Amino acid sequence: MKYNISIKAEKKNLKKVRTFLENIFAQMQVPEVERNQLILVVDEILANLIIHSAKSDMQKDIDISLSENAGEVTFEIYDYNSPYFDLTQHEDANLQDLKKQKRKGGMGLTLVKNIMDEVEVSYEDNTNIWRLQKKLPFLILKKSKNTYE
Amino acid sequence: MNLTAEHQANVYLLHVEGDLDASSSIILDNAMQEAIQRNEKAIIVNCEKLNYISSAGLGVFMSHLSDLEEKNIFFALCSMNEKVKNVFDILGLGELIKYYPNQDLALQAVK
C-alpha cells in the first residue's frame, strides 16, 4: 500500500502532514513511541525544506509518499527546484557546541539519522529525493498473527 | 500550542500544551527570553500536556542554556509523556538539561 500527500512549503502545513501520518500509522497499529518517531522524521525534513524555501522566497510544492512492504516502512520526499543537498557533509550535532553557540537548529538531521535505518538523498532534475527506510519487525508479526486468527 | 505561566514561590512555571514544532516554537522562545531577562530565580517547564516536540522545540531550550547558566537561573523540564521523553533521550539532552518525572520533584530540586 502506498500513501501520498502534497503540500505547499509553509510551516502551517507541518501539522497537516503529521495528522495524515498519524492516521495511517494508527491503522497499521504501530505503537505510539515508534509512530511518533516516524512522524518526527518526516516533520524534521519538511521543516528544513520549508525554512530553506522561505529563505529563497519561493513557495514550492513538496510531495511525500509512505509505503510499507514486508515490515519495512519507506518514506520518499520530493523537494523540487532545489540545489543538491549533500547529506555526506552533514555532521551529527555536538550538544556542547550548540549550547556554546546558542543555536536553535542543528539537531533535526541527527534525529532523522538516529531513528531511521537508511537515509539517502538522490538528485534528479533539480529535485532532491529523500528516501528513508526503517524496519518494523512487529508489523510482520502482527500480519502473521492476523493470518492465523 | 498553548502556553500558560504561573509563579509558585520563587519558581516561574511554564505549562506547555499541544504540539511544539517549527511553527509554534517561537511562542516558547519569547516566553523563555522574557523570563531570563526578568532574572527569574528558577524556570521549570512542565510538559505534562505536551503532545509532540520536534528539534525546533528542543532547540529553544538549547539556545538559552548558556544565558541561564550565566545568570545562575535554575532550569528544568518535567512530566514528559513517553513519546516526548523518547525524543529528548535520542538526542541525549539529559546530559545538559535537568529533567524530573513530575513537577513536585522539580520544585523540590530548586530548594
| ipTM score over 0.90, yes or no | yes
| Residue from B20, B21, B97 whose CB has the most chain A CBs within 10 Å, to mutate | B21
* CATH code at position A115: 3.30.565.10
User: What residues of chain A, 19 to 58, have a C-beta less than 8 Å from chain B?
Assistant: 32-33, 35-37, 39-40, 43-44, 47, 50-51
Task: Please state, as a whole number, how many other Cβ atoms lie within 10 Å of the Cβ of residue A132.
Answer: 23
Q: B72 — contact with chain A (CB < 8 Å)?
A: no
Nearest Cα residue in chain B from A103: B63
Rounded distance, CA B60 to CA A83, Å? 28
Name the domain count of chain A: 1
pLDDT tens, chain A, 149 aa long: 899 999 999 999 999 999 999 999 999 999 999 999 999 999 999 999 998 777 765 678 999 999 999 999 999 999 998 888 888 888 888 999 999 999 999 999 999 999 999 999 999 999 999 999 999 987 776 666 665 54
B60 and B43 Cβ atoms separated by less than 8 Å: no
Nearest to A33 among B54, B82, B93 (CB): B82
> Which cell numbers hold the place of A104?
536553535
Q: Which fold has domain B2-110?
A: Transcription Regulator spoIIAA (3.30.750)
**Residue A47, all three cell numbers:** 521543516
Q: Tell me the domain boundaries of chain B.
A: 2-110
Q: Look up the domain containing A42 and give its range.
A: 2-148
